[in-house]
Amino acid sequence: MNRVLTNERVISTGEAIREGLEEAAADDPDVIFLAEGVEDPNAVYGTLKGIGQRIGSHRMIEMPLSENALCGVAIGAAMAGKRPVISFHRVEFALLAMEQMVNNAAKAHYVSNGQHRVPLVMRLVVGRGWGQGPAHSQSFETMFASVPGLKVVMPVFAADAKGMMAAAVRDNNPVISIESRWAHYLHGHVPEGLYVEALDGPRRLREGQAATVVATSYMTLEAMRAADTLQQQGVSVDLFDLRLLRPLRLEAIRESVRRTGRLLTVDTGFRLYGAGAEIAADITEHCFAALKAAPRRLGLPDHPTPSSRGLVVNYYPDALRIVEALAGLLDLPAEVETNARQALIAARGDLPVDVPDQYFRGPF
Amino acid sequence: MTQTSLPLFEHMLYIRLVEEEIAARYGAPGQPQEMRCPVHLSIGQEATAVGVCAALTDQDHAYSTHRCHAHYLAKGGLLDPMLGEIYGKQTGCVGGRGGSMHLMDTRVGMHASIPIVSSVIPLAVGAALAMKMDGLDSLSAVFFGDGAMEEGAWHEAANFARLRALPVLFVCENNLYSVYTPLHLRQPDGALARFAQAHALPIWQADGMDVEATHTAATAAVASIRAGKGPAVMLLDTYRFREHCGPNDDDPLGYREPGELAAWHRRDPVTAQRARLIERGDATAAALDALQQRLAAEISAGFERARAAPLPGPSAAADHVYADEPA
């Protein structure tokens, strides 16, 4: 699953999402876009900007503030042959559409015994930082991933974002894409033109022997930083970006754990009932004999997201906590952990906790 | 498309006989219960389904609710897939995946029945959006009850449909009750019409117990939509003769006003249309009796086929979770 990138073009993940959507829409006249502010000056953080100019504004449908109907209308249009892409500026707004997502989008194919299909992309943006607080920063990926009939993707890197977005548009099933707002600022090498990446499973980002680390969305960046810092101390981990929560394809993770014997998961969402819980359970079931230590999980603590930068200090796992968790999991010498910790603390400097770290700007 | 009065009657009678046969066989004393799913009978509400669907073409979509038996049959759905579904058999219209609350058949334009109140309304509007974008002449008709107009999804969908002048026919069958709760405990007086007016939707009001009046109103509403004037609302007064869910008369529970059920029975749409046909000389009583006997025999045979059909095996339960992928 390693990409061979021959071009040097670097764009942001946000721009890559826009390109993926635009190219898929230009390729298929049935693709339509519905959102609140679908062509406003912001155009969903720029991710829909200019698409109407290319494909025609009649395919860009402004929606009233009616999230449930927005979703239901898109499902009905999908059942009638369209391929709608709907965008929610925050996951929490999409909760108003949960009934349509769960009862109709996820089930129309099944309950019609295959007569209907719902080719629909639902984009949900996760806020973080700058005091966004309890109703603007929840991720909830496992809530959606627990529903049969839905697909759930969480691209974070720019090329993945472009290719998986195009694949989602072409998919004949409802696909929920949960996008970290902070991930929009990442940069990476991205192919030009129509570029499709199959929705087929996790991607290995680093090869290593000491432990298997599986992270979702923005946490993949923190895990990558932790892995690279430990690498400088001579400790290598096998790092995966999960990319897909449903369908959940864990064969590569199992194969890795059979070699490393150790698993750490890092969730963008709540630790309790998180993706890490499912992965740890699967690995325990399938790789029990290979495990040298109990799997460990990092994720959000068991309380809502507070707004104040004073309260949010320990809320999100970061590279430092991932290093600490790996030190415990691997029983690393104190000196190794201390060196890695100090390197991370020095690199981070006095950056406030509520803004993205420029380290994560890339290009990756 | 307009229909003459006799076919309207025949279709209503057929639906009535099917539903009465369901009621008679559903948990009949001394008989094994073979229809093992909830049933929401349309007995008393046949005129709205038949009057509206007779104004639609095969290309038009229809959408319905938990109480979908009459809509399914009125739109042209066949008996065997319906009964197969209610009996949970392989022959069911959705292979036993849905039961009585999910009757559908895309081949006759019966696109979905959804038992969550108002949930189906945005689907119908979305289909209308697709039709309009594709320049089709068809429309999307969605049936719902008085309770659905209390839901946000109705208001959201109605606003959007009006905003974009979509070809949608919103058909509100006001049967005065949500389960046991009367309309006046749920809405201020006259709210149904005001809800439609609030969204600048033209209203066609008709006696939903009179199939000809309903059909005339539906034909006019459909003509308005096809003329490009945007969505329309039908407000049809009707009445559910049986319990909300199940085969029984539930009048003894006392939630209806005393004498109310009997008064509505005197307006029974099937009986009234029969009397009208005879009075006008459109048919003789003997001919209508013969028709009823013929339909009853057909229906009875259909029930026996449903009973004899095989159950689906558990291996099919995981089919069709995702399109284009093996289970």
Residues A100-133 have pLDDT tens digits of 999 999 999 999 999 999 999 999 999 999 999 9
Q: Is B203 on the interface with A (CB under 8 A)?
A: no
CATH number of A203-361: 3.40.50.920
Q: What is the CATH number of the domain that holds B144?
A: 3.40.50.970
| Neighbouring residues of A244: CB distance < 8 A, sequence distance ≥ 6 | A151, A152, A153, A154, A199, A200, A201, A202
Using CB atoms, which residue from A59, A81, A103 is nearest to B119? A103
Helix/strand/coil for A109: helix
Strand ranges (DSSP E) for B53-167? Answer: 61-64, 110-113, 140-145
Instruction: Give A44: exposed, middle or buried? Use CB within 10 Å, 0-12, 13-18, 19+.
Output: buried
Average pLDDT over every residue of B241-262: 96
Residue A209 scores a pLDDT above 90: yes
Q: Do B97 and A61 touch (CB under 8 A)?
A: no
Say what the pLDDT of residue B28 is. Answer: 86
Residue B79 scores a pLDDT above 90: yes
Percentage of chain B lying above the pLDDT 90 cut? 95
8 A C-beta contact, residue A80 and residue B127? yes
Q: Do A115 and B104 touch (CB under 8 A)?
A: yes
Average pLDDT over every residue of B212-237: 98
- State the CB neighbour count (10 A cutoff) for residue B57: 12
* CB contacts, 8 Å: B324 with chain A: 172-173
Comparing CA positions, the residue from B284, B265, B172 lying closest to residue B217 is B172
Residue A34 scores a pLDDT above 60: yes
B114 belongs to a structural domain: yes
Nearest CA in chain B to A98: B119
Residues B128-181 have pLDDT tens digits of 999 999 999 999 999 999 999 999 999 999 999 999 999 999 999 999 999 999
B318 belongs to a structural domain: no
- Our CA-based measurement puts residue A167 at a distance from the nearest CA of chain B, in whole angstroms, of 14
Residues A141-173 have pLDDT tens digits of 999 999 999 999 999 999 999 999 999 999 999
Residues A309-344 have pLDDT tens digits of 999 999 999 999 999 999 999 999 999 999 999 999
Comparing CA positions, the residue from B99, B80, B78 lying closest to residue B88 is B99
* CB contacts, 8 Å: A61 with chain B: 129, 164
B122 belongs to a structural domain: yes
Average pLDDT over every residue of B93-110: 97
* DSSP H or E run through A241: strand A238-241
Q: Do A32 and B106 touch (CB under 8 A)?
A: no
CATH number of A10-189: 3.40.50.970
Q: Do A82 and B133 touch (CB under 8 A)?
A: yes
Say what the pLDDT of residue B1 is. Answer: 37
* CB contacts, 8 Å: B321 with chain A: 109-110, 148-149
Give residue B268's domain range. Answer: 5-309
The question of ipTM being above 0.85 is answered as: yes
* CB contacts, 8 Å: B322 with chain A: 109, 149, 151, 173, 247
Percentage of chain A lying above the pLDDT 70 cut? 98
Nearest CA in chain B to A102: B119
The verdict on pTM exceeding 0.90 is yes
Interface with A, mutate which of B114, B123, B170 (most A CBs under 10 A): B123
Average pLDDT of chain A is 96
Q: Is B304 on the interface with A (CB under 8 A)?
A: no
Using the CB atoms, write b or e for A248-286: b if 16+ within 10 Å.
bebebbbebbeebbbbbbbbbbbbeebbbbbbbebbeee
Q: Chain B 23-62, CB below 8 Å of chain A: which residues?
A: 61
8 A C-beta contact, residue B60 and residue B141? yes
B181 belongs to a structural domain: yes
Average pLDDT over every residue of A60-85: 97
Average pLDDT over every residue of A17-25: 98
Nearest CA in chain B to A105: B123
Q: Do A69 and B112 touch (CB under 8 A)?
A: no
The structural domains of chain A, with segments of one domain joined by +, span 10-189, 203-361
pLDDT grade, residue A3 (50/70/90)?
low
For chain B, how many structural domains are there in total? 1
A10-189 and A203-361 have identical folds: yes
Average pLDDT over every residue of A268-292: 98
pLDDT grade, residue A7 (50/70/90)?
low
Percentage of chain B lying above the pLDDT 70 cut? 98
Residues B24-76 have pLDDT tens digits of 999 888 888 999 999 999 999 999 999 999 999 999 999 999 999 999 999 99
